[in-house]
Structure 1
């Protein structure tokens, strides 16, 4: 009998137990997934962004929504527009009438009287100059005293003062008459009337009261967003951004803007030097004309519409970006700025 026949087999039950194929497949799947996830975190690029929310506005204050004010006190006599009316530059908006219907006629009569006084003063001045010329000739010929010649010169100075006073009075009368005569408020530029804020002929208004709200046409749109102070130090003029407008269908991937759908390109044109009361900093983003997709028409994205912007910064691994977000660290500095800050 050999040795193998003399030694009994041990752990025969354990030898019959095998790892199930499902468990083995699960193990390999988890291992491959772990390695793939680790490789993804290390090697996959992620574009860092500074995010801000805001609204559509314009750079030029003349192109923003503005109030139409009354030029003179009085009452509303006639409206030429209504809510939503489109107007061109110079079109009448409202006519204002003074509470005294005879005011313009009295101002015109007063002006005529002042004009007559001016003409009389000018005639007197012309006469005084003739007298001064004759007095000078007689004085030079030795036929008149110096005192008469000096009195003639004084007379000219008095008449010149009266002419100047009459001219100033006439100018004031013209200003008063023009202010009361030009009582038609006109549109400052092309646009439309958003709302009328005054009543009818029973409503008395003062000079400067808001009559209507006017919105210009053809304004250059920009997006005004507010960015956290942690990230604003890395945002500068000329940085590119991606914008998502309210009500516009979009699928956004902030770290991979190339695969985003429904977002539009922008360029940072201004960054505030001081924070708003909320602690955030205002950043203005204009349309990127070089982008493949132009911004939606104004009828789709109007002034005041909400928007969200992502200012594009540096590219880092996905794992670093997750670690940064968990620790609430700021994004990476560009290489040139990092060296400059170190010095």
Structure 2
């Protein structure tokens, strides 16, 4: 302060009081100082104690397999609720009837729809068998036509051969007749000359002339016979063409009838298959009027109520909780921690409502936690911005409580590396992620 004024300020001294003098001599101040010093030294050494890094997650109890989780019973077809066979809380076995619904579509309201469809199918089946018989008959007819054609052609070929032989025989006869004509003509001329010389009588000339005329008539007949035989040969060749044309027409007509029957057969077969499909669909649809339980379990809730309500295809009717299931825990971790988690790693789990004492950095001294093992890691981020991890009970540790129910809350800790406490405090203050590492199982696999 500036000494502006001449007035002096008397500073009050407390040392003249006995109470103040005795304060410094009290023994508990020394004890407090020793405690502070010991605590400070202990806190300093505690900074070098091992700390287990971990990844915490919050989730809930679920089942290990999808088919063991609560499921909803749905109606495959639309209909109207007619009768309930169960109530909430009932235990049902696989195949037990839950509810009965009636038909509301006009295409399926005929009570004899299945039987009528079956009758139509049987009638078409008989028609199909008739077409099959007709095709077989036409095939037999075609074979008979082909065989008859072969025989007819063989007969015509034989006739041609006969004609060739007959022509040859007639030609030889014609040559013989012509030879006889020359001889008769020579004998007649010789008789005429001998008659002129007076050596032969006139009667002999007349005989030779008569014989010559007979031979001339005979040669005309033989030539006519020869030409007739040639004409028969031509007719036989023409007959072969006619036979081929005739039986080709018969065979074509039979084949046309066969293909027409085959076309009708295939068309009828398609109709039969269509009717079979309809019959099967109608039979299956009749069984869908009774909605049944798909597995053993308990009826949790009836989602549809009352009688006479109309429901559509795929409408949930009731939910069933399976009676037998393998319990598991689904938890969610931050994306920054996802690379640190691997399938098969050990996890500590504790459940809501179960007495626990948790020391996250010292899991060995925690109480009320249970061992778990990671069995699945979701590769796509969930709606909450985290990744889903599925944890199953560790078979090497104590069993999880049997009192747990599906949907109960759970918390998890995935154990990582052991680091000093001061390092963990420094990492947390700076917002760094835990140390990246590979699990022992993955390291062994990499070595192999």
Q: TM-score, normalised by structure 1?
A: 0.85
Question: Does the residue aligned with 2:111 lie in a helix, a strand or coil?
Answer: helix
2-side partners of 1:162 and 1:273: how far apart? 53
Cα displacement string for residues 159-191 of structure 1 (whole angstroms, at most 9, x for unaligned residues): 321331232232232133223310212211122
**Partner in structure 1 of residue 200 of structure 2:** none
CA contact (8 A) 1:72 1:207 kept: yes
RMSD of aligned Cα (Å): 2.5
Change (3 A) 1:207 1:279: closer
* Match status 1:104 vs 2:111: yes
Number of residue equivalences: 319
**Partner in structure 2 of residue 29 of structure 1:** 35
Question: Does the residue aligned with 2:89 lie in a helix, a strand or coil?
Answer: coil
**Partner in structure 2 of residue 212 of structure 1:** 318
**Partner in structure 2 of residue 283 of structure 1:** 389
Question: Does the residue aligned with 1:304 lie in a helix, a strand or coil?
Answer: coil
* 1:318 pairs with one of 421, 428, 431: 421
Shift in Å at residue 277 of structure 1? 3.6
* 1:40 pairs with one of 43, 46, 60: 46
Change (3 A) 1:307 1:195: same
Question: Does the residue aligned with 1:283 lie in a helix, a strand or coil?
Answer: strand
Question: Does the residue aligned with 1:104 lie in a helix, a strand or coil?
Answer: coil
* Match status 1:192 vs 2:298: yes
**Partner in structure 2 of residue 91 of structure 1:** 96
* 2:365 pairs with one of 259, 274, 278: 259
Shift in Å at residue 50 of structure 1? 0.2
**Partner in structure 2 of residue 67 of structure 1:** 72
CA contact (8 A) 1:107 1:176 kept: no
Shift in Å at residue 57 of structure 1? 2.0
- As a proportion of its length, which structure holds more helix? 2
**Partner in structure 2 of residue 77 of structure 1:** 82
Question: Does the residue aligned with 2:340 lie in a helix, a strand or coil?
Answer: coil
Query: Where does structure 1 lack aligned partners over 5 or more consecutive residues?
Result: 1-15, 338-343
Q: TM-score, normalised by structure 2?
A: 0.66
Change (3 A) 1:232 1:131: closer
* Match status 1:306 vs 2:409: yes
Shift in Å at residue 20 of structure 1? 2.9
2-side partners of 1:233 and 1:169: how far apart? 57
1-side partners of 2:123 and 2:83: how far apart? 36
CA contact (8 A) 1:74 1:204 kept: yes
**Partner in structure 1 of residue 251 of structure 2:** 146
* Match status 1:123 vs 2:229: no
CA contact (8 A) 2:117 2:279 kept: no
CA contact (8 A) 1:240 1:268 kept: yes
CA contact (8 A) 1:122 1:163 kept: no
CA contact (8 A) 1:108 1:177 kept: no
Change (3 A) 1:271 1:222: same
Query: Where does structure 2 lack aligned partners over 5 or more consecutive residues?
Result: 1-20, 153-246, 441-448
Change (3 A) 1:162 1:276: closer
2-side partners of 1:335 and 1:80: how far apart? 55
Question: For structure 1, which segment, 322-331 or 96-105, has the greater mean C-alpha deviation from structure 2 after superposition?
Answer: 96-105
1-side partners of 2:373 and 2:29: how far apart? 54
**Partner in structure 2 of residue 221 of structure 1:** 327
